[in-house]
């Protein structure tokens, strides 16, 4: 039996959500749009195209999409050399790998952004594979990213746990019939995460690590 531990990265393992909020806010401002930061924050976790549609609506000038997305990417890239891993993130991945879990990252990041995140995390020795936005046709909250990551791990839904920090993460996991664990490190309220399908909620990676022997990872591990 292959036990798969799938992880979102932004806001879950690396403390980047608010950097994304600032970069998106400025990208929208440069394009002439006033979008509240609180709305941007709740949209973090969606892929770029979906995030823009979610915030500006289907009736927007779609010719601006590439410009807005490109501005966000350029602004966010200025932080690449100092992205901070969240407390306990690398230790959590290494502990799970040492216990026989196959660790796969499932993220909307790709290319240089994904490289910067993995460098910040500094846990490549524990990561089996990565499912990025380049590998799927639909991003979260569609279940496709989770299913693809599960395929890379070689697990089934009964043997898989997905850890994320956003409502979109929880919806994607439940859509793929995978147990969803939420972290509060992305800034989304507990009740929103539970309402979107989180089976368990922890403060951050260190808190989840401290409860590995009592939570869903322990139960699935015992069943295996």
Interval 96-111: pLDDT, tens: 999 999 999 999 888 9
The pLDDT tens digits of the residues spanning 130-149 come to 998 778 888 899 999 999 99
Sign of CA dihedral 188, 180, 199, 216: negative
Q: How far is CA 72 from CA 77, 110, 213, in A?
A: 8, 14, 40
d(CA 71, CA 35) in angstroms, rounded, equals 15
Per-domain boundaries in the chain: 3-16+83-223, 17-78
Q: CA 64, 109, 24, 202 torsion: positive or negative?
A: positive
Q: Tell me: domain 3-16+83-223, CATH 3.40.50.1000, correct?
A: yes
Residue 208's pLDDT band, with cuts at 50, 70 and 90, is: very high
Per-residue pLDDT, averaged over 59-81, amounts to 97
What pTM value is reported for the model?
Answer: 0.96
pLDDT at 224: 61
Q: Tell me, what's the pLDDT at 139?
A: 87
């Amino acid at each position: 039996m292959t036990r798969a531990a799938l992880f979102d990265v932004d806001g879950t393992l690396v403390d980047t959500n608010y950097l994304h909020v600032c970069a998106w806010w400025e990208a929208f401002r440069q394009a002439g749009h006033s979008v509240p930061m609180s709305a941007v924050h709740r949209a973090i976790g969606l892929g770029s195209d979906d995030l823009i549609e979610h915030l500006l609506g289907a009736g927007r000038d779609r010719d601006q999409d590439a410009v807005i997305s490109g501005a966000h990417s350029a602004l966010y890239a200025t932080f690449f050399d100092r992205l901070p891993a969240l407390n306990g993130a690398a230790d959590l991945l290494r502990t799970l790998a040492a216990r026989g879990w196959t660790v796969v990252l499932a993220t909307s990041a790709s290319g240089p952004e994904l490289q910067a995140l993995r460098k910040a995390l500094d846990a490549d020795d524990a990561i089996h594979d990565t499912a990025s936005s380049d590998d799927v046709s639909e991003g979260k909250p569609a279940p496709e990213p989770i299913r693809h990551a599960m395929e890379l791990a070689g697990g089934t839904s009964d043997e898989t746990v997905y850890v994320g920090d956003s409502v979109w993460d929880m919806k994607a996991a439940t859509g793929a019939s995978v147990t969803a664990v939420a972290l509060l490190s992305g800034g989304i309220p507990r009740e929103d995460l539970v309402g979107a399908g989180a089976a368990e909620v922890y403060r951050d990676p260190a808190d989840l690590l401290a409860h590995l022997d009592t939570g869903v990872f322990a139960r699935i591990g015992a069943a295996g």
